[in-house]
Amino acid sequence: MKDFPTKFTHAPTDHNEWFGLYRDDGKIDDYTWINNVERGNFRLHPIGPMRVSMGCITLQHAADFQVLRKALLHTQTIAVNGTKLMAYGCIEVVTNGNTCP
């Protein structure tokens, strides 16, 4: 039901196809602290109908996201340290040439 309002827009979205992004901070949860500010719910997904990203990694075109998604789903997974979980890989976020905290 969450996706129903976007179904008839120029940029429909299906949250089931999104990828969760978790910080390597020793725990698997949806939140982290950056510069004394709690942040969370980071995802990799195509841009939505509002064309706004709230800290997620978004692709401007749904077709580009589908190409990346297909490639990730066909990639060998890697173990997440200290868990029985598997991941599709790691993303290093940089800003102005510096690694983010």
pLDDT at 99: 61
Token pair in block for residue 70: 């297909």
Token pair in block for residue 17: 């196809």
Whole-model pTM: value is 0.74
> pLDDT per residue over 39-89, tens digit each?
889 999 998 888 877 778 999 999 999 999 999 999 999 998 888 989 999
Distance CA 34, CA 73 (A): 29
pLDDT at 11: 54
pLDDT at 48: 85
Query: Mean per-residue pLDDT for 24-31?
Result: 84
pLDDT band at 10 (very low <50, low <70, confident <90, very high): low
